[in-house]
């Protein structure tokens, strides 16, 4: 019988809830209270997440965010700023010592990205892993990924772009030089793609989540069993949301 992991399909959530939930699952798993977990989710309202080491004020135009009703949040993972609107986000939480996870951080990025690539393939999209943390198709980025390890537990989350609005994204992000903004937008349009763009049609969130579920099952040779957050995880989510991810001293700390 195949090893069973937990599948969480938590739908659309705010940036603060989304990041708090990933961290709550990380804590619960590190304490041995829940199975390795794969989660799929979306962002409502749309939001920008920045990497742990980025400066909020340097990366994001906070006034434009406010005006457009776009939330912003600092992640516990490193990496760059991401505008989350039309995408599916996954997270995986699993013990560092699990046989499925390479000890080496770089190798583990590749392994987990392998699951995302199999998921894309299930949608008819061929893709390639570009170390450190990108997945590309036809030479353009379709997925970005970021990993942290805490309490001997791996959390990796990442995006699969379903559609992309580069102009809107750039109105929210600070660019070093306004004069070259048009060129930057053109560059990013050349470098980023989406499921809609590749397939020439819209694919439902649920359909993408299903393809990704199968992808994770194939890559890790496990069965993902639909589950729910434990009461303790729900409490932790609320706590992290309030004390960390929606708090000024967290988001503005750098």
Partner 1 sequence: MNKESPLMKMQYRSVYKVPNGKLLKIRLKYDEKSNLIDEINITGDFFAYPEEAIESMENKLKDTLLEKEILLKKIGSIVREENIQFIGVDVESLTKGILMCKK
Give the residues lining the site for partner 1 (CB under 8 A).
51-55, 58, 76-81, 105-106, 132-133, 146-150, 176, 254
* Separation CA 212–CA 58 (nearest Å): 34
Tell me the two tokens of residue 49.
Answer: 């997440």
- In the complex, least distance from residue 6 CB atom to partner 1, rounded to whole angstroms: 25
Contact 166, 187 (CB under 8 A): no
Nearer to partner 1, 2 or 150 (CB): 150
Nearer to partner 1, 60 or 224 (CB): 60
Nearer to partner 1, 4 or 128 (CB): 128
Among positive and negative, which fits the CA dihedral 220, 22, 205, 139? negative
**Alpha-carbon distances, residue 115 vs 40, 80, 84, 99 (angstroms):** 13, 22, 21, 16
Nearer to partner 1, 80 or 102 (CB): 80
State phi, psi for 231 to the nearest 5 degrees: -55, -40
Nearer to partner 1, 5 or 250 (CB): 250
- In the complex, least distance from residue 3 CB atom to partner 1, rounded to whole angstroms: 26
Nearer to partner 1, 18 or 133 (CB): 133
Nearer to partner 1, 48 or 146 (CB): 146
- In the complex, least distance from residue 49 CB atom to partner 1, rounded to whole angstroms: 12
- In the complex, least distance from residue 148 CB atom to partner 1, rounded to whole angstroms: 6
Tell me the two tokens of residue 148.
Answer: 């942290």
Contact 38, 91 (CB under 8 A): yes
* Separation CA 40–CA 91 (nearest Å): 7
- In the complex, least distance from residue 216 CB atom to partner 1, rounded to whole angstroms: 22
Three-state secondary structure string covering 182-226 = HHHHHHHHHHECCHHHHHCCCCCHHHHHHHHHHHHHHHHCEEEEE
- In the complex, least distance from residue 1 CB atom to partner 1, rounded to whole angstroms: 34
* Separation CA 134–CA 159 (nearest Å): 10
* Separation CA 22–CA 92 (nearest Å): 8
- In the complex, least distance from residue 78 CB atom to partner 1, rounded to whole angstroms: 4
């Amino acid at each position: 019988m195949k090893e069973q992991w937990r599948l969480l399909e938590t739908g659309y959530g705010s940036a603060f809830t989304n990041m708090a939930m990933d961290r709550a699952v990380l804590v619960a798993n590190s304490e041995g209270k829940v199975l390795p977990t794969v989660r799929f989710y979306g962002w409502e309202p749309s939001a920008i997440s920045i990497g742990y080491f980025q400066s909020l004020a340097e990366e994001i135009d906070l006034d434009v965010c406010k005006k457009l009703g776009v939330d912003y949040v600092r992640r516990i993972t490193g990496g760059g700023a991401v505008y989350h609107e039309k995408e599916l986000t996954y997270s995986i939480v699993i013990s560092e010592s699990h046989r499925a996870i390479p000890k080496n951080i770089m190798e583990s990025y590749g392994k987990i990205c392998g699951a995302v690539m199999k998921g894309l393939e299930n949608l008819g999209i061929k893709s390639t892993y570009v170390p450190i943390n990108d997945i590309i198709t036809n030479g353009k980025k379709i997925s970005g990924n970021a990993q942290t390890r805490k309490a001997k537990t791996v959390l990796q989350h990442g995006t699969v772009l379903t559609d992309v609005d580069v102009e809107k994204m750039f109105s929210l992000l600070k660019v070093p030089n306004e004069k070259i903004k048009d060129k930057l937008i053109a560059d990013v349009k050349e470098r980023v793609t989406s499921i809609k763009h590749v397939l020439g049609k819209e694919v439902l969130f649920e359909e993408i989540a299903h393809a990704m579920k199968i992808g994770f099952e194939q890559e890790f040779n496990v069965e993902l069993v639909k589950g729910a957050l434990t009461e303790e995880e729900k409490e932790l989510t609320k706590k992290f949301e309030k004390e960390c991810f929606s708090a000024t001293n967290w988001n503005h700390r750098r």
